[in-house]
Structure formats: C-alpha cells, structure tokens
Amino acid sequence: MNAIVSAPPARRTPRRAPVLLMSLLVALVVSVALSLVLGSNNLGLGTAVRVLLHDEGSEAATIVRDLRLPRTTLGVLVGLALGAAGVLMQGHTRNPLADPGLLGINAGAALAVALAAQLFGIGDPRGQVVFGFAGALIATAAVFAIGSTGRQLNAVPMALAGAAVMALLSTFTSLVVLSDNPTLDVYRRWVVGSVSGRDASISATVLPFVVAGLVLAMINTRALNAVSLGEDTARGLGQSVAVSRLVGLTAVTLLAGAATAAAGPITALGLIVPHVVRAVTGPDHRWLVPCSALAGAVLLLLADVVGRLVAGPAEIPAGITLAVLGGGAFVVIARRTRMAKL
C-alpha cells in the first residue's frame, strides 16, 4: 500500500514527445555544424571536420579550433542550462512568466561582475565567471533566506523575495557602473549576453556545475509532476514539497548561475523555450526538462549564428539576437495558440 501511495500518478506521454526529443538531437548536431562553419569567414563542412581531426596550423584551423569550437561548446552548455532552468522555475513557482532571473541570479552576477571590475580591475571573461557565479550564489542564498517561511519553501514568498532582492541589487549595480567609466565599459560588454570571446577554459569551468544541475533537474522531474497536481495532493502521494522544491531550486541556481556567469544574462531563453516545448510534450516533466534543455541549446546556437551573419564582422551578441527573434516568436505563439497549463 505504501508503494502505491508514494508513487506519483503516471502521466500519459504524447507520442510526439519521443519524436521531438530525437528531432532536437538531430537539430543540435546540425546547429553545432552551422556554428563551426558559418561566420564572417565561411568554411566548408569538410574543411571544418578536417582541421578538427588534424591540427594543420592553417588559418582555417585557427578559426575553427581557437574561435568557433570554444564558442560553440559554451553555447551548447549555456543553452542546455537555461532551457532546463526555465522549466524548473515555471514548474516550482507555478508562474508561466517565471525565468531563472526571478531568484536574483542575474542581478547577483551583475553586481559581482561590476564590483570585480571596479575594485580589482577584472574585465576578462575568466575572472568574470568566478565573480559572477559567486554573486549568483550569494543572491540566491539571500532569496532562500528571505523567502522561506519556517522550514517551508513556498512559491509566492520566494517570488516576492526574488523580486525584492533583484530590485535592490540592480540599484547597487547602477550606482557602481555609473560612477566609474572603465567599470561601465566592462559591464556593458558583459550585460548584453554573448558566447563570443570566451576560450575553452570558460566551458571547462562551468561544465561541472551544468552537469550537476542537469542531474538534479532530471532527479526532480517525478516529484515536480506530483507537485504540479497541487501541494496537498503531492503530500498525499508521499512527496515532500519542501525537499522537492529545494532540489529543484538548487538545480536552477547551479544551471542559471553558471550560464549567467559565463555568458552574461540571456533572459529570453528560459522564458520562451518551456512554453514552446510544453505545447508538444505536454506537462510531463520527464520529457519536458530534457526537451527544453536541447531546444535551448539549439536556439542559442542558431541565434549566435544569425548574429554573426546579419551584421558582418561587427556581429550582434546572441543575447540581443535571441531577445529580438525569441520575443517576436513568443508574441505570435501567445496570440495564435493556447498555451499549455502549468
């Protein structure tokens, strides 16, 4: 009897969900290939594969190995992280407009990057990752401390605490960057959100946090399915709502904190992708989380490629391209289709 009570009710998975997962895997491979060959200096796919397998010391090898491969790798990691984090945030807060920034992650990372530039003169991406991730963790810990009621992690107090901490930290960030022109120059390059100009060490730094966050996210899917039926129902099924919410929000912190520290705030991805994927997979988080992660990686890589092609050598950062394209697409989806309920 206990085994029956403790198991969350099975959700009927639409047949489209496995098809979408396989399609997204193929799309990710195609997006990686496009990211390696397209840019201000277009290369053939055969050339890109050849220089990846054999270090020729040629101009093509320098472009692919030193510039595009680290950029593509980081794009995949950031896209996976933000796609999965968006699903968890919307699921645990029951707020269709929630994104990872609601925990103060973006604001905490931004303030830390600004302070690192002003106090220590740190403006390179490697130093920004360390300070940005530390700022994201501290801000999230403050939101947890303020928003928790007793031993419970309730969605509404957490959202209110996140909004308050975000507003406070954003004010401090404005004071820091507006009082010092060199700091403002560093901050404005980081805040647009971009995967360019990062070497392989950045991906190596954030990889453990992204992997740990994705593992926690997948572990959290069954509990999140139960919580989505209502907290009372979840408790009746033997789920600890506080524990499941703590695991989920910890995963969000690891994923979004690492992604924001490495690439800057890319806010549109975590908001848009879960809605699009949910319309195909339905509300089952066992499919929704991995599909959203893959869709996030595909969308970020394509946005980065488009930014390279439309502006020539200058390039448009992926965060701006994604905000323009993704925002327009989200408006169309919201007007023409009925969004799946959380």
**Per-residue burial over 158-178, b = 16 or more CB atoms within 10 Å of its CB, e = otherwise:** bbebbeebbeebeeebeebbe
Mean pLDDT (the chain) is 86
Q: What is the pLDDT, as a whole number, of residue 7?
A: 42
What is the distance between the alpha carbons of residues 136 and 156, in angstroms, rounded to a whole number? Answer: 20
φ/ψ (deg, to 5) at 223:
-65, -35
Could you identify the residue written with the tokens 């989920």? 248
4 vs 303, which has greater pLDDT?
303
- What is the H or E stretch that residue 108 is in? helix 105-120
How many other C-beta atoms are found inside a 10 Å radius of the C-beta of residue 185? 12
DSSP string computed for 63-95: IIIIIIHHHHHHHHHHHHHHHHHHHHHHHHHT-
DSSP state of 152: B
Q: What is the pLDDT, as a whole number, of residue 322?
A: 86
- Tell me: the pLDDT tens digits for 272-300? 899 889 989 988 999 999 999 999 999 99
- Tell me: the pLDDT tens digits for 64-109? 998 999 999 999 999 999 999 999 988 888 777 778 888 889 999 9
The arithmetic mean of pLDDT across residues 6-35, rounded, is: 81
- Tell me: the pLDDT tens digits for 195-238? 988 889 999 999 999 999 999 999 999 988 888 777 777 777 77
Q: What is the pTM for the complete model shown? A: 0.89
CA nearest 70: which of 50, 52, 58, 55? 52
Task: Give me the CATH topology for the region 71-336.
Answer: ABC transporter involved in vitamin B12 uptake, BtuC (1.10.3470)
Sign of CA dihedral 71, 72, 77, 78: positive
- Domain edges within the chain: 71-336
